[in-house]
Structure 1
Amino acid sequence: MSNENDIITPGMQDYINRNNSYLAKRSQYIQDEVKKWKFDTIAVHGLYSVTDAINDYQGSIIEPIFMSTSQAYRDSDEMAAALAYKIPTWCYSRIANPSTYYYEWTLALLEGYGFDGETTCCSTSSGMAAIMTAVQPFLHVYNTPAEPRNFVATAQCYGGTFQQFSIRLMQERNIECRWVLDATNLDEWNSKIDENTRFLYGELPSNPQLSFFDIKAVADLAHSHEIPLICDSTIATPALLRPISHGADIVVQSVTKSLTSSGFGIAGAVIARKNLTSKFSDDELKEDFALNVKLLQNRDFGPNLHPLQAVMSLNDMRTIRSKMDLMSRSTMKIARSLNSHPQVESVQYLGLPDHPQHELASKYMWLVDAEYDELYNKPVNRYGHLMSFCVKGGAEKTRGVFDNLKRIWRATDLGRIKSVATIPAISTHQQQGEEGRKKAGIPANMIRLCVGAEHPDDILADLDQALNAAK
């Protein structure tokens, strides 16, 4: 990533040799120990070890928060080697910071759990910044500014994603987004790909419709055209779904959501497998996409994550498997109950057998390590804690139900430890307009509900009184 003509002084070479030795030991530690741990152990410890704590951080058992803008160097040789990216560094917190490193290493390991290859991670300030970071490198102009560029994406996606693709990229930069309306139809995906298609992009489960697609089939299709598959797996989290293990090249996480259930701040991440597929990228980008965009693209664009938020997010992630299990079970109970409620027109939840993609989701969505859990001792499907339902009686009746909620919070947020609801047509997906919402399958009478860790009976009681009060 540095200039081939950089002069390496003897002092710089000494630093490089020492740091190469450190990196080799860390890689060996990952292969010999960390890769053998169960998911929960990785979530709790990541790469922060007792040795790190004792030798470097005065024995702190929790990763320290480095509230500093920059790193000091021993001499000019170390600075020159660091700024040429020849040794690990956190020269400036816009580029890197020890706290964000621990956050990135943990997420890379969690998304790569069960994957034979290597994964790396680039932290970002939000989920939207993560999407920009993931797609931007594939949209470069190679010949002339007018050269046609396009990408293919699922229309069933978060409203912010729809805006970024349709407004920021299509309208402002003339980069065509070709929307897939039925993500389960492989022929539709294939029909939209040509020699100028840079990548395929899919969100699953989608927000708020809870749609799904066959990850392996779409990844194989992408690779047959020598382009990558990028997946937004925010709703599932790596506790329930790890797309890289099924062929995806890059995973986007809005860590703000389920991964950090406390709701204390905003964070994002891009996790990529090494040696991804892309005929439009140079070898360095393909070899280690996440590190490349971290040290080059994001250095220049600046969507950095604050070190305080990195450690706060880490603390939330430590118990992600047990939280997703608990909240998924509660959501299943609520979805089943609402499915037979006289005031409810329909329920959208992948765990229900009558959902069109239930069988497909059941192929991919599993509670990680359930077979090692004494409560289950076998593989167990879990479908997450996001669901939606449509109210009988139209938009005004839906607003009445929404306004009558007492325990469930009215907000555009999701993934919280507390249950939160919104009406997507007037909130998260308002800006994409009626035509865009119709394309994405978001009616005006839909309420999106993200179930928290409360007892499900209390959530059901609140839903029931709200539905009945709005008759």
Structure 2
Amino acid sequence: MAELRFDTVASAAGYTHADAEANQGSIVPPLYATSAQHFPSAAAMEAALSGQEDAWIYSRLGNPTIRSLEFVIAALDGYRVDAEVSAAVAASGMAAVTLATSPFLCVRGDEPMNIVASAACYGATFMVFSQRYGKERGVEVRWVPENATVDEWAARVDLHTRFVYAEIPANPLLSLVDVPALSALAHEAGAPLIIDATLATPALMRPLAMGADIVVHALGKAAGASGVSLAGAVVARHGITSSAADASMTDDFAGYLRRGPIRDMGALLSPFNAFTVMNEVRDLRRRMDAMSRSALTISEHLHSSHRVAEVFYPGLQSHPTHALAQQMVLVDSEADGGPVNRYGYLLGFRPVGGFDAAARVFDRFEVIWRANDLGRVKSIATIPAIATHRQVVAAASGGAVVPPDLIRLSVGLEHVDDLLDDLTRALGAA
């Protein structure tokens, strides 16, 4: 599908005309809600189980519906990437984060190991790194402050670094990092660069094209925007950089995950969830385009309001990483004469008056939903300091600053004027 455009790849990948003919003409890939594969003979079973043939065998080892989703996600993250790309899907975004990072933490005698990660990360990711890896496994975690320079990253990376990790845009302040520069310094140290690109999705950003080795997604967010299912994905270029791993892992990291950790530890995605996400991802770019347009309009409105102290949105010139966003975040579109910048659906703002005012504004929303979620067709708000990033705030780790009065808003597909009216009404009596 290399010659096709992004929208067409999203619509068609993973299911051909020939596949439809083999499935009674269905133009929608079937849901294989079954746990095991029937084999016509002992020889066929042995060939599948020995890896001589690519069969799915048992749903903990794979499933046709799951395989189709993996193909679609690899095609989207690998769009116009000059490398072979494959994907493995898992039960949740955090399962994907764990699968993408833990294989690099193998013990090699008494050799020390560290990981270098942006402090601007999701609360559960912070807990995995600081508690599961740092406290329980003794891995040194070197946190990098939000909006740090490349030199500050470089000062923490050495030959004992097992991976370099960043979330872009970072939740909840939407900061970005220089992916090509981080890729260069990670590779110089023999470490892979791992990027959580959940908020951007492949419609807005493809880090593999900028030098990243591995990308993780919580597919249950904007990729599966209805909110029906949880899912996660690990997408990797073939031949990743890692001095701590052998070729069985680095040649095809996603394939390694399917053959090993996912199979053995059971972090599998259900076929039903794979089916729902796969059908929702088909119009991903158009949704991201519409939601991003609304988010920019809302950000500009809030930025001009005397009732708002501060707005965080990478599409605003006031955002500290706006210049990076202009280089790295876009929607592939011919409608406007070529690729155009869209800055995503997530924004944050601080009402004048501190936390009490923020809580009052939050409680007055009538159109916007109050929940700990994002990327939905419905607009959703939360207060990260008391919800999604509570652990980060409590730990006050290495430069992670989440304002206590920040309201995070995930902009959906409602009419933007209705959302503006809701915000104006809620702010009016703050």
TM-score (norm 1): 0.90
Deviation of the 1:427 alpha carbon: 0.5
Counterpart code for 2:18:
T
Partner of 1:434: 394
Match of 2:217 among 223, 228, 253: 253
Compute the displacement of 1:367 (Å): 0.6
Partner of 1:142: 108
**1-structure distance, mates of 2:92, 2:394:** 27
User: Distance between the aligned counterparts of 1:136 and 1:435, measured in 2?
Assistant: 22
* Residue from 190, 193, 198 that aligns with 2:157: 193
Show the counterpart of 1:44. Answer: 11
Q: Which residue of 323, 338, 348 corresponds with 1:388?
A: 348
Unaligned runs of 5+ in 1: 1-33
Whole-Å separation in 1 of the counterparts to 2:397 and 2:364: 25
Partner AA of 1:36 in structure 2: E
Task: Tell me how far apart the structure 1 counterparts of residues 112 and 185 of structure 2 sit (CA, whole Å).
Answer: 21
Report what 1:122 is aligned to: 88
Amino acid in structure 1 at the alignment position of 2:15: Y
Q: What per-residue deviation string (whole Å, max 9, x for no partner) do you get for residues 142-200 of structure 1?
A: 225xx422110000111111111111111111112111104441111111112211010
Contact 1:184/1:212, CA 8 A, preserved across alignment = no
The structural deviation recorded for 1:72 is: 1.4
1:321 aligned partner? 285
Structure-to-structure mapping, 1:87-236, within 5 angstroms:
87-144=53-110, 147-236=111-200
- Among candidates 417, 427, 434, match of residue 377 of structure 2: 417
| Aligned-residue offset at 1:89 | 1.4
Please list the CA deviations of residues 247-266 of structure 1 after superposition, one character each: whole Å capped at 9, or x if unmatched: 00000000011111111010
Aligned to 1:7: none
Q: Which amino acid aligns with 2:75?
A: L
Q: Quote how far apart the aligned CAs of 1:291 are.
A: 0.6
Q: What does residue 289 of structure 1 align with?
A: 253
Aligned with residue 86 of structure 1, among 39, 47, 52: 52
Deviations 1:418-460 (A, max 9, x none): 1000000110011334342783120110000000011111111
Question: Match of 1:60?
Answer: 26
Question: Equivalents in 2 of 1:72, 1:197: separation in Å?
Answer: 45
Specify the alignment match of 1:365 in structure 2.
Answer: 329
Quote the Cα distance in structure 2 between the aligned partners of 1:176 and 1:392.
Answer: 39
Q: 1:438 to 1:390 in 2, by over 3 A?
A: farther
Contact 2:119 2:397 in 1 (8 A): no
Q: Contact between 1:65 and 1:307, CA under 8 Å: does it hold in 2?
A: yes
Provide the rounded CA distance (Å) in 1 between the counterparts of 2:148 and 2:415: 34
Is the 1:250–1:271 contact (alpha carbons within 8 Å) kept by the matching residues of 2? yes
d(CA) in 2 for partners of 1:425, 1:352: 23
Partner in structure 2 of residue 8 of structure 1: none
In 1, distance between residues paired with 2:301 and 2:251? 48
Contact in 2 for aligned 1:151/1:198 (Cα 8 Å): yes
Q: Which runs of 4+ in 1 moved over 6 A?
A: none
Amino acid at match of 1:216: P
Number of residue-to-residue matches in the alignment: 430
Whose radius of gyration is greater, 1 or 2?
Answer: 1
The 1:183/1:201 distance shift into structure 2, 3 A limit, reads farther
RMSD value, Cα: 1.2
Query: Is 1:300 the counterpart of 2:264 in the alignment?
Result: yes
- Note if contact 1:129-1:268 (Cα within 8 Å) is conserved in structure 2: yes
1:463 matched to which residue of 2? 423
Measured against aligned partners, the alpha-carbon deviations of 1:259-283 in whole angstroms (never above 9, x if no partner) come to 1111101001000000111111111
Give the C-alpha shift of residue 395 in structure 1.
Answer: 1.1
Which SS does the other structure have where 1:120 is aligned? strand
Q: Secondary structure at the match of 2:396?
A: helix
Matched residue, 2:357? 397
- Aligned residue for 1:63, secondary structure, equals coil
Give 3-state SS (helix, strand or coil) of 2:372's partner: coil
* Match in the other structure for 1:11: none
SS class of match (1:281): coil
The one-letter amino acid paired with 2:3 is: K
Q: Secondary structure at 1:440's aligned position in 2?
A: coil
Letter in 2 for 1:40: D
Alpha-carbon distance between aligned partners in 1 of 2:143 and 2:398, rounded to the nearest angstrom: 13
**Identity between Structure 1 and Structure 2 (%):** 44
Q: Is the 8 A contact 2:393 2:401 kept in 1?
A: no
